[in-house]
Amino acid sequence: MEWGNKGLEVIKTRHRLIISVGILSTSIGIVLAGFVGYDWFINNTGHEVLAIVSAFGILLGVQMLILSSLSSMLISLHQEQIHYMQVRLEKEKKSKK
């Protein structure tokens, strides 16, 4: 089980990285969208390229946050299954003795 614990540590580290990239991308996209909206309504200047970049940033960030929540659910499910199998194996060993 030592590799399993090491593997979970690596996954948790990557999980934090995905969350930080998701939050950063979403916040940059929202700031750019705010700038594009402000410039559009106040100065009547269009920024089509910045609007596309901001939409891409928001979508990428939201997808990263969803991916991180799904990965945490998979990690917890995997840990529960390993625990259940270990308990079952210990019960079988005790019943054979």
Helix residue ranges, H only, the chain: 2-43, 48-96
What is the value of pTM for the model shown? 0.70
**Do 51 and 36 form a contact (C-beta atoms < 8 A)?**
yes
Q: 10, 8, 1, 20: which is closest to 67 by C-alpha? A: 20
Tens-digit pLDDT profile for residues 64-96: 989 888 887 888 788 888 888 888 988 888 887
- Confidence check: pLDDT of 35 > 80: yes
| Overall average pLDDT of the 39-48 stretch | 87
**The two three-digit tokens of residue 61, written as one number:** 């960030």
Burial 72-83 (b: 16+ CB within 10 A, else e): eeeeeeeeeeee
User: Given this model, what pLDDT does residue 5 score?
Assistant: 58
Tens-digit pLDDT profile for residues 24-33: 999 999 999 9
